Structure 1
């Protein structure tokens, strides 16, 4: 048997020039980089080609922390990192962020992705600045169409994303939507355990589906569709539609009932009813549902989604030939995404066939910036050494190990004379 030879160890700084620091989180840090001239950034070829044929000019490098931050000994690779590496290696779709390579170096893990100049959270923020301007209807249709296309691909491959939110939806300078951050994603085809086990809290609270808020242990891809409905509403209104406060979990206690978030949903949709959601009474937190109205009387007089939609269109300065409002098919799509019963909620495949996309006779563009005069500011990248940091990430090495920093320390200047 001919064994595949091991490739020589690759060093991140030998192949990439780090432009600067983008962001950090519980996983580690993300940097912007470009490939070094004259050095191949893959084993066999340079420059790097995207599956669609484009040359990748810039990269986002995610540097992971170890599983147990602050431990004296290395404890291995985090579950989140393993998931993201495994899934990104196997999955490929125009609406998913493309993984270029994985580099293991000095007990650090680097995932190298194509770089996206924007994300939906940044675009929402840009439009919310005074003078407040709505996201153009054509851009909105394109964004949503691309999101559903990527989501359909994930679900067809038995993957639930579980953390969809505007910050995790990237947008390239060419207007291509890229779903990113698969660190919480799970396979749902015959899982070994209930999807609930081992991951008691999934999905950022504002985008968390009602079945999760009510303690469901066996959930479905429908949780992603609820999250996309919340994203759609946020793109329309430029603010989260259900902006609740998360009840934090005590270390030794059960997951708390998210009463406040359930109340924020109820203020607009009303509380779910048994005749509309037959399995409602089977939800573990169903007995707590009655307490929501005690803490939030507004759920007894809900605004209704249609009134919320009309107010949004009116308050966001839609109007005129350059910024016509979305038609009522947008409201219908939103209503079918924000359906309490997950069995009745639209699937990604059904959403792509909705009149919101097909009604004009022409499908949306795969460039959400097509025809727009708006120029969005580039992503902020910090190049200051003290902001980027020149030491190792906390918990990535034990005392006495050499520095494994991604950015090299600045050279000291020689004194004259």
Structure 2
């Protein structure tokens, strides 16, 4: 029988995963992602509820409804939509409006899954896109993200951002109410 990872993480009777289990599941997920990307497929909705585990500990990637074949022409021209990937697993460039992207959007989601396995819950739980960006900003995640300098602070060719908007967003995302 298969269970989705989200259900297992939130069920109070299921114990937290051990370090060995997390390593095993992450290895399987990364192999699956590598295979997909090798076939030029972007999943575009990697999240805990789209990962299925059977009783033998085998992980399967499910729900390919938002997946697309990647082509360099489509990526360069911005023919993809940024309204993909469930909010809590959505990478910064999609939150900022980029429509020219590649397989790396799946990898941000994989990082979120890894954190979720370690913590037992999704670490970035914004209620809307702005709050999601603020959470990423507050946790200083963007400075470690390889594409950080590509789209932040002044945007990129696929999602230009006005400097005044960046200032307002930076100011609004400050942790301390005094700063607001």
Q: TM-score, normalised by structure 2?
A: 0.82
Corresponding residue of 1:146: 28
Match of 2:161 among 261, 280, 286: 286
CA contact (8 A) 1:120 1:171 kept: yes
Task: Tell me, yes or no, if structure 1 residue 125 matches structure 2 residue 39.
Answer: no
Q: Distance in 2 between matches of 1:260 and 1:123?
A: 26
Deviation of 1:190 after TM superposition, in Å, equals 3.7
Deviation at 1:195, TM superposition (A): 7.4
Cα distance, 1:292 vs structure 2: 2.5
The Cα shift of 1:297 comes to 1.5
Shift of 1:282: 3.6
1:189 is displaced (CA, Å) by 2.3
Indicate which of 245, 248, 264 corresponds to 2:135. Answer: 264
* In structure 2, distance between residues paired with 1:168 and 1:218: 24
Residue correspondences, number? 169
2:116 counterpart of 1:239:
no
Would you identify which runs of 4 or more consecutive aligned residues in structure 1 move more than 6 Å?
none
User: What residue number does 2:57 align with?
Assistant: 175
The answer to whether the 8 Å contact 1:260/1:292 transfers is no
Distance 1:277 1:193, change over 3 A: closer
Find the aligned partners of 2:123 and 2:161 in 1 and give their Cα distance: 23
Name the SS for the 2:52 alignment partner. Answer: strand
* Distance across 2 between alignment mates of 1:295 and 1:184: 32
Residues 192-341 of structure 1 mapped to structure 2, 5 A cutoff:
196-197=78-79, 199-246=81-128, 258-269=129-140, 272=143, 277-280=148-151, 281-283=154-156, 284=159, 286-287=161-162, 288-298=165-175
Shift of 1:185: 0.4
The answer on whether the counterparts of 2:43 and 2:106 sit within 8 Å (CA) in structure 1 is yes
- SS across alignment from 2:149: coil
Instruction: Looking at secondary structure, tell me which structure has more helix per residue.
Output: 2
Instruction: Give 5+ residue unaligned stretches, structure 2.
Output: none
2:139 aligned counterpart, secondary structure: helix
Residue aligned with 1:212, SS: helix
CA shift, 1:148, in A, is 0.3
Aligned-residue Cα RMSD (Å) equals: 2.6
CA displacement 1:143-190 (0-9 Å, x = unmatched) = 000000000000000000000000000111221100010010011124
Secondary structure in 1 matching 2:71: coil
Distance 2:77 2:88 in 1: 20
Contact 2:82 2:97 in 1 (8 A): no
2:64 is the alignment partner of 1:189:
no
Q: Which digits, 9 at most, give the CA deviation of each residue in 1:113-149, with x for residues without a partner?
A: xxx52111011112xx27x943111110010000000
- For 2:117 and 2:77, the matched residues in 1 are separated by 30
Q: TM-score, normalised by structure 1?
A: 0.37
Cα drift, residue 199 of structure 1:
3.0
TM-aligned CA deviation for residue 193 of structure 1: 7.2
Q: Kindly state the Cα deviation for residue 296 of structure 1 after the two structures are TM-superposed.
A: 2.8
